[in-house]
Amino acid sequence: MSMKALVYNGPGKREFKQVPIPKIESSKDAVIKLEATTICGTDLHIFKGDVPEVKEGTILGHEGIGRVHEVGSDVTKFKVGDRVLVACITACGSCVYCKKNLQSHCLDGGWILGHNINGTQAEYTRIPYADNSLHNVEKYEGKVSDEALLMISDAMPTGNEIGALNGQITEGDVVAIVGAGGIGSSALVAVKSFNPGLIIVIDPDEERLRVAKEKFGADVGINPTKVDVVEEISKLVATVNVGERANLTNKVDVAIEAVGIPQTFDTCQNIIAPGGRIANVGVHGKAVNFNIQDLWSQNITLATGLVNAYSIPELLEKVASNRADPSGLVTHKFTFDQMEESYETFGDASKNKCIKVFVKF
């Protein structure tokens, strides 16, 4: 029995081809027949050769929704036919890291799908530790759209856990999100659900600023190529009524870094108020300057992280009760036989005004 899958064949080489359907390998595995999948920025990094540990022949993808096709004898929470959401992080559920909600560091899991083992850009995928790595979504039928659901595999938990929760956003906070691409947009959707006082989005792309405001509800967009960001934020915080939060420094309570380059990290440290939190979500390829000489006395917190996906159940509830809506992150739809085309569109996201693709089987 064979199936179609998107396979990594070394840097720059992808192949859409027939491969064998996965089988149960351990008693805690489940095999899922996928109904939808998507592409992540990390998949593009793999094709660029930035993630050398990925072996040639690996099926990529770590996001998806589908139905349980087969279960191992020790799977207790799922049965054949259940509709499930695949978490981007595989969790054994019992190791020291899983117990601390640091599932991305799970001793026998973490980010393994489409990385160390075959992933979800295929008609079927094998999920280890199914009881802790899948979520039953039957009860959200009719309440959470498939588009929103697919965004809760990875995009939303990343924005929520590493952006909003690490930023410790409380009602009324002034929040700046630096970067309005995919990561910034999902952080924005998550941040919005915590009812901050003011959301400022900073990005050099006017179109992205427009989308951040019109589609995802940011209050203000700042283009750093046109104005001085620190000055602009100072004016904003001073004039906009954000209550006691309009602090003496006219800086922000929370700065979310959603790009991953030295300039955007700098912006965060330049605009953070005393007691503020910098939450780094961006994937960095080189060192940044940390201005500890200015910041040591400012009582700020700097948080970094890789998504752990522990907030998926909470996000499903939030979306089902209309307190957050990530469906707008899906900008392009394809069928699975258009997998190559979807990679081309997502690969040039800014030109194609693409945030996330929805690939239906």
Return the range that interacts with Zn ion (CB under 5 A); candidates 102-110, 207-215, 326-334, 335-343.
102-110
Query: Which range of residues in 103-111, 145-153, 184-192, 345-353 is near Zn ion by CB under 5 A?
Result: 103-111
Residues numbered 248 to 307 that lie near Zn ion (CB under 5 A) are none
Which residues 149-208 are close enough to bind Zn ion by CB under 5 A?
154
Question: Is the separation of the CB atoms in 46 and 34 below 8 Å?
Answer: no
For the chain, strand residue ranges (E) read: 2-8, 14-20, 30-37, 58-59, 64-71, 83-86, 124-127, 134-136, 174-178, 198-202, 220-222, 252-257, 272-280, 301-303, 330-335, 356-360
Selected binder of Zn ion within 92, 278, 281, 300 (CB under 5 A): 92
Q: 212 is written with which tokens? A: 């951040």
CB nearer Zn ion, residue 92 or residue 190 = 92
Q: Are 85 and 138 in contact (CB under 8 A)?
A: no
Q: Which of 106, 144, 165, 211 binds Zn ion (CB under 5 A)?
A: 106
Q: φ and ψ at 156, to 5 degrees? A: -70, -45
Cα 190 to Cα 237: distance, rounded to the nearest angstrom: 22
Q: Binding of Zn ion at residue 131 (CB under 5 A)? A: no
d(CA 325, CA 247): 31
Which residue among 87, 98, 188, 201 contacts Zn ion (CB under 5 A)? Answer: 98
**Residue with Cβ nearer Zn ion (106 or 242):** 106
Binding footprint of Zn ion, residue count (CB under 5 A): 7
95 binds Zn ion (CB under 5 A): yes
Q: What sign does the dihedral 154-283-354-217 (CA atoms) show?
A: positive
- 220 has which bridge partners? 200
Q: Based on CB atoms, which residue is closest to Zn ion, 62 or 208?
A: 62
Minimum distance from residue 346 beta carbon to Zn ion (Å): 12
Distance in Å, CB of 99 to Zn ion, minimum:
8
Q: Which of 7, 40, 87, 211 binds Zn ion (CB under 5 A)?
A: 40
> Of 7 and 306, which has the nearer Cβ to Zn ion?
306
Cβ-based nearer residue to Zn ion, 118 or 250 = 118
Measure the CA dihedral 112/46/304/212, to 10°. Answer: -110
Only segment of 39-47, 265-273, 277-285, 294-302 that touches Zn ion (CB under 5 A) = 39-47
User: In the complex with Zn ion, which residue's Cβ is closer, 8 or 200?
Assistant: 8
CA–CA dist 200, 220 (Å, integer): 5
Contact region with Zn ion (CB under 5 A), list: 75-83, 118-126, 148-156, 347-355 = 148-156
> Which CB, 106 or 198, lies closer to Zn ion?
106
Q: What is the amino acid identity at position 260?
A: G
Tokens of 14: 């992808």
Can you give the binding site for Zn ion, defined by CB under 5 A?
A: 40, 42, 92, 95, 98, 106, 154
